[in-house]
Homo-oligomer: A and B are copies of this chain.
């Protein structure tokens, strides 16, 4: 049954595909690839549900599909057994070998748990805060407009022009765009990153990224055939000395930096480091992609100018999005940067999907122009400040000596490092069992794996849930430390 332990990491968290489908796919792939051989017994639904911390019905649903497809068969009282490789009639195409090339994204734990699990897994806003009436009012205003047929008709790869113009005017007013710049609308920051990669990367190119970094960013660049070089992130963001060395030695094609409230660490790059980064990048002739999905979510402290604002030499493209400050289900973000790059990204956009959905672009413009976005942001900032404070307080109260965590001034994530010799990944099944879930640090690792670390995404949880969740986690951690100090040599000091 040891293979069962691998189920947890093989489910995909940030995606929200229903868990039963993920489980089903996971098992089906193992059967087709032969790693789960014919005749093997699957764990009982109750057993697997307990291990994964999900409802038994979820497991049953997955097994049912497997059975319908002839991959397993169930025998009352004896359990379910692998019966074949499914797939229907004889396959003409050897999909396995056709698809083998290319880095499949590394899988990550599931975002879906039974109701009793307090999940710090997803870096996303709280749905309880969505201002549904304001959103409805924005939709209603758009639907009444005379230009509704334009919204429904084929649009421009640059974006819905009224939105593009508004974003451009704002960017100009904020000093984020100069005369050599242009702006285009994208499907959130994720697509803007993808388009920048399509415009700039050749397979084998080196990309400098923070280490640890958001899994979706890692997978995206690896999928384009890039080699990633991780620059360690401390409480003050990327390590500038290491960045400068890497620029000299590795001749990277691109630097990608999350300037504010970095995912997963929550770190913000200070002003001096921003200037140093721009100087170093300029000297090396390397463009900077400033990924700033979280910048508008500052709960306290002074805002720091964007790299794009500080860059007087046209080497930076800034990516922003409505997702984190309004509705992630609507995929609208934008990129502001040097015209030649934006031109190429626009061509890549047209090849990718023609243009961004115009209904959502029009609705978000109305949400912005009606003042609803600003009102919503004020509520989100109050709620975020409260949730961040609850997270930091609970860590201080519940975590044992030796634990370390970041103290972000905004965003959605706190990075927690457990005392040695604990491994946050090893602890996860037990944590889920006890009613709390998080993302182990190893999913964010680029060049260095920090097994002690984990990400706490607090924005989607109520302060009370946060306190209870971290209390549970603290108990587990203290228990583990007690038992490890009894059973082994003293752990080395943490540095």
Best-buried of A135, A154, A360 by chain B (most CB within 10 Å): A154
Q: Does A50 contact B (CB under 8 A)?
A: no
How far is A87 from B179 in the complex, measured between Cα atoms in Å?
A: 6
Q: Shortest beta-carbon distance, A286 to chain B, in Å?
A: 8
User: Do A190 and B353 touch across chains, with their CB atoms under 8 A apart?
Assistant: yes
Interface-side segment among A37-45, A241-249, A307-315, A485-493: A307-315
Among B14, B329, B332, contact of A153 (Cβ-Cβ < 8 Å): B329
How far is A37 from B89 in the complex, measured between Cα atoms in Å?
A: 64
Q: Does A28 contact B (CB under 8 A)?
A: yes
For window 341-377 of A, CB contacts with B under 8 Å fall at 341, 343-344, 346-348, 350-360, 363
How far is A313 from B124 in the complex, measured between Cα atoms in Å?
A: 41
Q: Take A17-B158, A96-B340, A359-B359 as given contacts and tell me if A202 and B353 are in contact as well, using a CB distance cutoff of 8 Å.
A: no
Residue of B nearest to A133 (CB): B143
Residue of B nearest to A93 (CB): B315
Q: Does A149 contact B (CB under 8 A)?
A: yes
How far is A143 from B130 in the complex, measured between Cα atoms in Å?
A: 13
Residues of B within 8 A of A352 (CB): 187, 190-191, 194, 220, 352
Residues of B within 8 A of A332 (CB): 357
User: Do B70 and A190 touch across chains, with their CB atoms under 8 A apart?
Assistant: no
Q: Does A122 contact B (CB under 8 A)?
A: yes
Q: A164-201 vs B: 1/0 string, CB under 8 Å?
A: 00000000000000111000001110110010001110
User: Do B88 and A154 touch across chains, with their CB atoms under 8 A apart?
Assistant: no
User: Do B287 and A343 touch across chains, with their CB atoms under 8 A apart?
Assistant: no
User: Do B360 and A16 touch across chains, with their CB atoms under 8 A apart?
Assistant: no
How far is A235 from B21 in the complex, measured between Cα atoms in Å?
A: 43
User: Do A287 and B329 touch across chains, with their CB atoms under 8 A apart?
Assistant: no
User: Do A314 and B219 touch across chains, with their CB atoms under 8 A apart?
Assistant: no
Residues of B within 8 A of A331 (CB): 353-357
Residues of B within 8 A of A315 (CB): 91-93
Residue of B nearest to A68 (CB): B179
Residues of B within 8 A of A14 (CB): 154, 350, 354
User: Do B104 and A344 touch across chains, with their CB atoms under 8 A apart?
Assistant: yes
Q: Take A92-B282, A152-B330 as given contacts and tell me if A216 and B86 are in contact as well, using a CB distance cutoff of 8 Å.
A: no
